[in-house]
């Protein structure tokens, strides 16, 4: 199936965003995974790190929904172009877009990194 890995990630992310189900997403990450984004000073390691990363993501944005313009999969690499909209816990509307690069090792994610303009997101969360 050509987009199997991309779709597995997207489906798990939507479960987190819609229902708060973090376990489906964390289960995709390898024990030695590295997870981060341009706004984070830290690289989160392993499944526990992935859990912390995605817990912070969901904790920052109360209601959130991501849509995907492009999903590209080649070998063990996935690129996702997305837009995320929602509401911050302070009630402010949030909308930002970016690209996530995912490296897979078999059926587990070994690296996830998201690129977006952190200044735009910071202004909306202020």
Residue ranges per domain, the chain?
4-125
Mean pLDDT within 48-77:
93
Closest by Cα among 48, 29, 39 to 103: 29
Residue-level pLDDT at 113 = 98
Neighbouring-strand partners of residue 102: 78, 112
CATH class of domain segment(s) 4-125: alpha beta
Q: What are the tokens at 121? A: 């997101």
124, pLDDT greater than 60: no
Residue-level pLDDT at 32 = 98
- 123: pLDDT confidence band, cut at 50, 70 and 90? low
122, pLDDT greater than 70: no
């Amino acid at each position: 199936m050509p987009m199997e890995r991309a779709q597995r990630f997207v489906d798990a992310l939507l479960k987190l965003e819609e229902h708060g189900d973090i376990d489906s997403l964390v289960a995709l990450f390898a024990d030695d995974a590295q997870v981060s984004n341009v706004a984070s000073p830290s690289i989160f390691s392993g499944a526990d790190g992935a859990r912390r990363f995605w817990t912070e993501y969901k904790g920052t944005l109360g209601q959130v929904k991501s849509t995907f313009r492009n999903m590209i999969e080649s070998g063990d690499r996935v690129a996702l172009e997305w837009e995320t909209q929602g509401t911050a816990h302070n009630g402010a509307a949030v909308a930002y877009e970016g690209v996530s690069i995912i490296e897979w090792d078999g059926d587990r994610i070994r690296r996830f990194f998201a690129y977006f303009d952190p200044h735009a997101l910071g202004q909306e969360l202020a």
